[in-house]
């Protein structure tokens, strides 16, 4: 039993830093909601933040114990913390003694808390004696940092979020806040709604969700941002729309900017940017007319080989207009990580010093080293992020300690990073999740505490410092990062690391800032806990914080003036396109994923919007490459390649393609890892790599022509050839069917026996359709042998056939007890047409009227019951012999089984529970009559007995071919057997120790195998949800997934709605806020919705309280998912519009879309606009 409590904390995703209320109930279940009192988000949360409770609650992927390997050839083994820390210290000491302090380094993260960052920096620079500490913030913010320092003197973001509600003109460049910083965009969106005259200008090569809602979208060519900003500057200067007084009194170097701005005419700039001159003038005019002008930017400017030039060119616009240091004005860099700013405050980068002190300043270095009581701090900057992995590969760097980041996915040119990590002498990985691909390279793996499991502080994008309390205990042996770091420092023999808690680390950091421009010496943990968050500086213990910097127009430069900076580069020079690599690749984020998906990838709800990597491509470029939407493309650069589906549209410029950055390896396959192909060239000043400009070629995936042989002609084989032929017309397809009648609906055999359905009704492929599909069908011909080495099969006539790929879909056979004389008259099974025809013929041969006929069915499962109902429908007397004490004992619970038995009995079908057939004899002197003796002593007189006990997979052929088998043919996530050229589908396929003997599973497997063979590596099998629908007249009954709760697991919940007298029974089983199973009797309207929820394991969230309560009017998901919060599809929205709901707010209210985090609103608006245009 847990103590119920509610705590305030901060979101662990982007740099917006939203306030969250965390509620923990008496069962320890975590729920989150936005903190309405927190100034950054005012109660709003994006889709990622709204689902953080699932990330915190799920520890299935967590690193729980320290692990170590003694050499690269040894596996990781669990060790104690003392052993792990001692090993780390011993190896680091040994390497430092032999190769010097610059042979080791730390690579940390913008997700680290400030206290963790502070200690890592102190250990590295102050005591090891190297500046080799850098962070993944280098990959996103270092160009902005340099831009600020060059312009205002320090890395100081001047604005406050409240300026969004005050500004009347926004320039958003290289950013898509509608998806990547949704809560800030919600505020901007509301500002625009409340004041329609507000202007929004967006600069982006793609028509993003942000761009779609802009007043002006400048869809420039990648890399031409500097030219655009200079052209706007030229227009402002030329039209005298600049603040001359501000420029004269408070800036320097204006003339250099003017000179470069006038180096190109507006027309020339427009040509180079690929946009119209009139649009440049319009943008400049909007800015000139603004009383409050706010610029926003992020990775589109920063992640560039000319990132610093892009930043200063944009910052120049704020200086030209005097729009800085005033409410509603200023430059505002959007931060990608929750504590990237906190890390910069403590100097956690290779070229920075703690407390915004200058590494190049000897006085500053001495101040910090004296404060720490450590070694002299060196002047030369250490290895930055990309340089660190270059040094590992070259051997200059021997050991690396990686904390809370996943460079094996996130770094550019990641194949080089993998080579570097393999070459390193010693790799320490300190993280929370085994899902981080970098953990695979660890010699020492340290389990860290995660979000909610430790205390500390973070600083968001508006300089707002917040306290994060420890809310729950970390799992197993995981420790807070600060404790791991100070334990290591102590083991190294360093003084000054005898901290008792994170608060002492924070106090030390605050003291070091005293007297600086980021002075927080007046901001204690106590104030943060009691008074809430503060924006720095906070120089004394009564100071309220500083919402806005430079309001006195005194800047942090030596002359207290803002500095204009002429951009050093006009053009992106990272990589030239040519005839071999003619397209420019841009990479970035998608709405519901974050970084490398080690957190968001755990939340199924967040996987429903964009579940797999893709390449966005302009229609013209796609047409030239004969690519259409959904085709597989191979994207190559000079460094590597990926293989993904294409999304074809007109939202992206010709000559430009886009690939999301989030996906790493899947099943050890890096088909969707964007950084296989990105460039590791860096900005020479900021050292930030260029993720936004990479020369690539895109070609349609063309599979080599192959001969594909399919063994079997059941549901799996049928679906496979259909799915395969949809995308491939040229491969040679052969199907061998042991039965003379292939491709029929086996499930309907009972209705065929009773003649309720004709044979034609069961056939899936009519005459002529096989020929249209171009399939060579071999009817009545089985396969007896497989030669996997020579890739041949031998048929039952002894003829040999070659294959390139072999699809085994051999189905199953009826299980018949060994003592049963199944070949004697009157004994039957029911697996194929021959069985059905034999039973029909036999019953007719009795020449008895149907009301005099009696059939005993052994087995009260789905087949037995449906056969019983079908025969009873035509008047035949039926008895069911059931070994168990209830019907459908594997598919239903006790209550549903009891109610079903009542229904069956009322149909005048006799049931003999807890019984078995002992012997069966032909009655002497009475032709076509059997005596069935039961083990309880009862004898039944009947005309026929049908065994419907169960089935066994037909794996004899697989065994004979030496393929790996257990109960079935063992397959992987692509349905490949132990021989990758042989696939197993349907009832024989055993995946993760389970068999899935239902038609829907066979069809699912067939689709996945076909897609994989045809180049879609994102198509993977994760198992199927077992479901059963009983086909009884006047009775709705189905089950999906789990039907009984484990007796020893209290984490499962049952939700039951029951009216026994009406045989109305509904039951849902819930665990970890996901639907695990359901039984629906008397009404199965929820079947489709429940099936999807169970199959996709989507977290229920608010829907949990609506299950079976009739409280939800939500239609099942229809079409491509748009709203992940409410699970609303494009089809649902379109239906509502067609139904007359054409006002945006009403559309959201009616469908439920956009009512959660709101990040899908631009997409909803686009659907509405498109429907209204086409109406």
Fold of 1113-1175: Arc Repressor Mutant, subunit A (1.10.10)
- Mean pLDDT of all residues in 967-989: 98
The answer to whether residue 1024 scores a pLDDT higher than 90 is yes
Cα 809-810-814 angle, rounded to 5 deg: 135
Contact present, 310 and 226 (Cβ < 8 Å): yes
The three-state DSSP-derived secondary structure of 284-345 is HHHHHCCCCEEEEECHHHHCCCCHHHHHHHHHHHHHHCCCCCCCCCEEEECCCCCCHHHHHH
Count the residues in the chain: 1175
Q: Which range, of 41-45, 277-281, 496-500, 1098-1102, averages the lowest pLDDT?
A: 1098-1102
Whole-angstrom Cα Rg for the chain? 34
- Could you tell me the pLDDT band of residue 1112, with boundaries at 50, 70 and 90? very low
The distance between the two most distant Cα atoms of the chain, rounded to a whole number of Å, is 122
The answer to whether residue 1113 scores a pLDDT higher than 60 is no
Cα dihedral angle (188, 192, 197, 200), rounded to 10 degrees? 50
- Could you tell me the pLDDT band of residue 1155, with boundaries at 50, 70 and 90? confident
Q: What pLDDT score was predicted for residue 1?
A: 63
3 state SS of 966: coil
Joined tokens for residue 464: 């707002």
Average pLDDT, the chain: 95
Strands, E assignment, 694-773: 694-700, 707-711, 732-737
1024-1048 burial by CB neighbour count: b if 16+ within 10 A, else e? Answer: bbbbbbbebeebbbbbbbbbbbeee
Residue bearing tokens 């009192």: 37
d(CA 878, CA 874): 11
User: pLDDT tens, 416-430?
Assistant: 999 999 999 999 999
Residue range 67-141+339-499, CATH number: 3.40.50.740
3 state SS of 836: helix
612 to 606, 645, 799, 1019: CA distances (angstroms): 11, 9, 43, 9
- Could you tell me the pLDDT band of residue 5, with boundaries at 50, 70 and 90? very high
The domain 5-57 having CATH identifier 3.30.200.210: the answer here is yes
The domain 707-814+957-1013 having CATH identifier 3.40.50.620: the answer here is no
Neighbours of 684 (CB within 10 A): 11
Residue range 143-333, CATH number: 3.40.228.10
User: pLDDT tens, 220-265?
Assistant: 999 999 999 999 999 999 999 999 999 999 999 999 999 999 999 9
Enumerate the β-bridge partners of residue 991.
994
Q: What pLDDT score was predicted for residue 1126?
A: 77
Joined tokens for residue 21: 């209320």
Q: Which class for 1059: exposed (0-12), middle (13-18), buried (19 or more C-beta within 10 A)?
A: exposed
User: pLDDT tens, 70-115?
Assistant: 888 899 999 999 999 999 999 999 999 999 999 999 999 999 999 9
Instruction: Please state whether 578 falls in left (phi above 0), alpha (psi between -120 and 50) or beta.
Output: beta
- Mean pLDDT of all residues in 1154-1158: 77
Same fold, 707-814+957-1013 and 827-949: yes
Contact present, 1130 and 637 (Cβ < 8 Å): no
Strand 1052-1059 with 1064-1071, pairing: antiparallel
Phi first, then psi: give them for residue 581, nearest 5 degrees.
-130, 75
User: pLDDT tens, 202-212?
Assistant: 999 999 999 99
Task: Identify which of 1041, 827, 1047, 1043 has the alpha carbon closest to the alpha carbon of residue 949.
Answer: 827
User: pLDDT tens, 1139-1148?
Assistant: 889 888 889 8
Task: Identify which of 849, 879, 995 has the alpha carbon closest to the alpha carbon of residue 939.
Answer: 879
961 to 351, 709, 797, 1052: CA distances (angstroms): 62, 15, 18, 43
Task: Identify which of 93, 286, 285, 267 has the alpha carbon closest to the alpha carbon of residue 199.
Answer: 286
Residue 669 per-residue DSSP state = B
- Mean pLDDT of all residues in 835-846: 95
Task: Identify which of 428, 481, 447, 445 has the alpha carbon closest to the alpha carbon of residue 92.
Answer: 428
Q: Taking the alpha carbons of 1078, 1086, 723, 718 in that order, is the dihedral positive or negative? A: positive
User: pLDDT tens, 295-336?
Assistant: 999 999 999 999 999 999 999 999 999 999 999 999 999 999
Q: What pLDDT score was predicted for residue 970?
A: 99
Strand 562-563 with 251-252, pairing: parallel
Instruction: Give percent of the chain above pLDDT 70.
Output: 99
Architecture of domain 827-949: 3-Layer(bba) Sandwich (3.50)
- Could you tell me the pLDDT band of residue 1149, with boundaries at 50, 70 and 90? confident
d(CA 151, CA 948): 82
- Could you tell me the pLDDT band of residue 765, with boundaries at 50, 70 and 90? confident
Contact present, 496 and 110 (Cβ < 8 Å): no
Q: Which class for 259: exposed (0-12), middle (13-18), buried (19 or more C-beta within 10 A)?
A: exposed
Strands, E assignment, 731-804: 732-737, 775-779, 783-787, 792-795, 800-802
User: pLDDT tens, 73-84?
Assistant: 899 999 999 999
Cα 106-110-115 angle, rounded to 5 deg: 75
- Mean pLDDT of all residues in 126-142: 97
User: pLDDT tens, 185-198?
Assistant: 999 999 999 999 99
Joined tokens for residue 52: 């953080």
Q: What pLDDT score was predicted for residue 1110?
A: 61
User: pLDDT tens, 6-46?
Assistant: 999 999 999 999 999 999 999 899 999 999 999 999 999 99
Q: What pLDDT score was predicted for residue 1114?
A: 57
End-to-end CA distance of the chain: 58
Contact present, 1003 and 719 (Cβ < 8 Å): yes
Q: What pLDDT score was predicted for residue 1124?
A: 75
Q: What pLDDT score was predicted for residue 179?
A: 96
Residue range 583-700, CATH number: 2.40.40.20
Domain positions in the chain are 5-57, 67-141+339-499, 143-333, 583-700, 707-814+957-1013, 827-949, 1113-1175
Contact present, 119 and 512 (Cβ < 8 Å): no
- Mean pLDDT of all residues in 876-880: 98
User: pLDDT tens, 687-702?
Assistant: 999 999 999 999 999 9
């Amino acid at each position: 039993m847990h103590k119920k409590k509610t705590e305030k904390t901060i979101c662990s995703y982007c740099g917006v830093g939203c306030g969250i209320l965390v509620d923990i109930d008496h069962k320890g279940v975590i729920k989150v909601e936005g903190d309405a009192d927190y100034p950054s988000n005012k109660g709003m949360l994006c889709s990622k933040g709204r689902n953080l409770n699932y990330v915190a609650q799920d520890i299935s992927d967590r690193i729980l114990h320290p692990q170590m390997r003694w050499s690269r050839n040894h596996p990781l083994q669990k060790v104690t913390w003392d052993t792990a820390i001692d090993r780390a210290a011993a190896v680091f000491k040994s390497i430092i003694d032999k190769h010097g302090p610059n042979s080791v380094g730390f690579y940390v993260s913008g997700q680290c808390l400030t206290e963790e960052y502070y200690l890592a920096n102190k250990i590295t620079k102050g005591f090891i004696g190297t500046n080799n500490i850098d962070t993944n913030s280098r990959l996103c913010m270092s160009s902005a940092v340099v831009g600020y320092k060059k312009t205002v003197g320090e890395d100081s973001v001047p604005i406050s979020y409240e300026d969004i509600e005050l500004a009347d003109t926004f320039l958003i460049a290289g950013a898509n806040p509608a998806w990547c910083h949704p809560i800030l965009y919600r505020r901007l969106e509301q500002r625009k709604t409340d004041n329609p005259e507000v202007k929004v200008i967006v600069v982006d090569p793609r028509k993003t969700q942000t761009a779609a809602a802009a007043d002006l979208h400048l869809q420039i060519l990648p890399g031409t941002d500097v030219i655009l900003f200079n052209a706007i500057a030229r227009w402002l200067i030329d039209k005298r729309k600049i603040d001359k007084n501000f420029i004269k009194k408070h800036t320097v170097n204006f003339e250099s900017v003017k000179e470069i701005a006038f180096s190109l005419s507006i027309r020339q700039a427009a040509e180079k940017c690929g946009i119209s001159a009139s649009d440049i003038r319009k943008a400049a005019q909007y800015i000139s007319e603004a009383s409050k002008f706010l610029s926003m930017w992020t990775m589109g400017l920063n992640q560039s080989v000319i990132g610093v030039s892009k930043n200063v060119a944009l910052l120049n616009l704020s200086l030209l207009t005097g729009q800085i240091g005033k409410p509603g004005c200023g430059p505002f860099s959007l931060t990608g990580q929750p504590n990237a700013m906190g890390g910069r405050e403590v100097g956690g980068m290779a070229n920075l010093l703690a407390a915004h002190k200058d590494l190049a300043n000897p006085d500053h270095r001495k101040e910090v080293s004296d404060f720490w009581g450590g070694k002299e701090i060196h002047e030369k900057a250490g290895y930055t992020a990309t340089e660190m992995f270059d040094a590992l590969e070259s051997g200059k760097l021997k050991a690396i300690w990686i904390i809370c980041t996943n460079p094996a996915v996130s770094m550019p040119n990641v194949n080089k990073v993998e080579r570097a990590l393999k070459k390193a002498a010693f790799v320490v990985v300190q993280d929370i999740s085994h899902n981080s691909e970098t953990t695979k390279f660890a010699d020492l793996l340290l389990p860290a505490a995660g979000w909610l499991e430790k205390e500390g502080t973070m600083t968001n994008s508006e300089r707002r410092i917040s306290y994060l309390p420890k809310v729950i205990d970390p799992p197993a042996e995981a420790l807070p990062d600060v404790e791991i770091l100070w334990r290591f420092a102590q083991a190294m023999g360093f003084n000054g690391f005898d901290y008792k808690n994170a608060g002492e680390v924070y106090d030390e950091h605050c003291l070091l800032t005293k007297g600086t421009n980021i002075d927080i010496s007046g901001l204690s943990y106590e104030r943060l806990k009691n008074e809430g968050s503060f924006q720095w500086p906070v120089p004394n213990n009564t100071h309220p914080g500083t919402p806005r910097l430079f309001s006195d127009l005194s800047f942090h430069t030596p002359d207290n003036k803002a500095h204009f900076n002429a951009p050093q580069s006009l053009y992106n020079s990272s990589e030239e396109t040519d005839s071999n690599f003619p397209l420019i690749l841009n990479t970035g984020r998608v709405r519901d994923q974050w970084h490398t998906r080690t957190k968001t990838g755990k939340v199924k709800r967040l996987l429903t919007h964009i579940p797999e990597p893709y390449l966005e491509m302009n229609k013209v470029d796609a047409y030239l490459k004969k690519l259409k939407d959904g085709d597989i493309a191979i994207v190559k650069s000079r460094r590597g390649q990926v293989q993904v589906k294409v999304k074809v549209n007109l939202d992206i410029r010709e000559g430009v393609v886009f690939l999301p950055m989030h996906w790493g390896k899947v099943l050890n396959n890096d088909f969707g890892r964007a950084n296989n192909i990105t460039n590791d060239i860096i900005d020479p000043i900021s050292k930030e790599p260029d993720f936004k400009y990479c020369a690539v070629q895109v070609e349609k995936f063309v599979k080599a022509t192959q001969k594909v042989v399919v063994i079997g002609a059941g549901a799996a084989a049928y679906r496979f050839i259909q799915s395969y032929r949809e995308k491939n017309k040229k491969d040679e397809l052969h199907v061998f069917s042991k039965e003379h009648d292939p491709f029929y609906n086996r499930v309907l055999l009972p209705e065929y026996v009773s003649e309720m359905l004709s044979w034609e009704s069961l056939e899936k492929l009519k005459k002529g359709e096989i020929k249209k599909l171009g399939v060579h069908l071999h009817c009545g011909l089985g396969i007896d042998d497989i030669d996997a080495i020579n890739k041949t099969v031998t048929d039952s006539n002894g003829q040999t056939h070659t294959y390139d790929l072999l699809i085994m879909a051999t189905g199953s056979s009826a299980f018949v007890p060994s003592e049963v004389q199944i070949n004697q008259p009157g004994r039957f099974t029911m697996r194929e047409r021959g069985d059905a025809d034999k039973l029909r013929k036999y019953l007719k041969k009795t020449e008895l009227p149907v009301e005099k006929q009696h059939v005993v069915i052994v087995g009260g499962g789905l087949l037995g019951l449906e056969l019983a109902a079908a025969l009873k429908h035509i008047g035949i007397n039926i008895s069911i012999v059931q070994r168990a004490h209830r019907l459908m004992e594997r598919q239903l619970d006790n209550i549903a089984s009891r109610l079903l038995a009542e229904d069956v009995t009322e149909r005048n079908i006799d049931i003999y529970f807890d019984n078995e057939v002992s012997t069966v004899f032909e009655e002497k002197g009475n032709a076509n009559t059997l005596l069935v003796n039961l083990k309880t002593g009862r004898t039944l007189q009947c005309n026929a007995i049908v065994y419907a006990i169960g089935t066994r997979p037909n794996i004899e052929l697989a065994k004979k071919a030496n393929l790996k088998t257990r109960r079935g043919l063992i397959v992987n996530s692509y349905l490949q057997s132990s021989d990758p050229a042989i696939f197993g589908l349907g009832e024989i396929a055993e995946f993760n120790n389970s068999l899935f003997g239902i038609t829907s599973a066979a069809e699912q497997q067939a689709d996945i195998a076909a897609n994989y063979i045809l180049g879609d590596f994102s198509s993977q099998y994760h198992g199927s949800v077992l479901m059963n629908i009983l086909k009884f007249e006047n009775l709705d009954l189905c089950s999906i997934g789990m039907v009984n709760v484990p007796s020893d697991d209290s984490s499962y919940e049952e939700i039951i709605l029951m009216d026994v007298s009406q045989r109305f029974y509904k039951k849902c089983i819930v665990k970890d806020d996901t639907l695990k199973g359901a039984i629906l009797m008397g009404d199965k309207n929820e079947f489709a919705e429940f099936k999807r929820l169970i199959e996709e394991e989507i977290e229920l969230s608010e829907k949990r309280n609506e299950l079976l309560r009739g409280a939800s009017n939500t239609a099942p998901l229809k079409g491509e998912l748009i709203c992940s919060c409410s699970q609303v599809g494009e089809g649902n929205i379109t239906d509502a519009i067609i139904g007359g709901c054409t006002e945006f707010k009403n559309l959201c209210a009616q469908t439920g879309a956009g009512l959660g985090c709101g990040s899908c609103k631009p997409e909803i608006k686009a659907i509405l606009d498109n429907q209204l245009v086409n109406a």
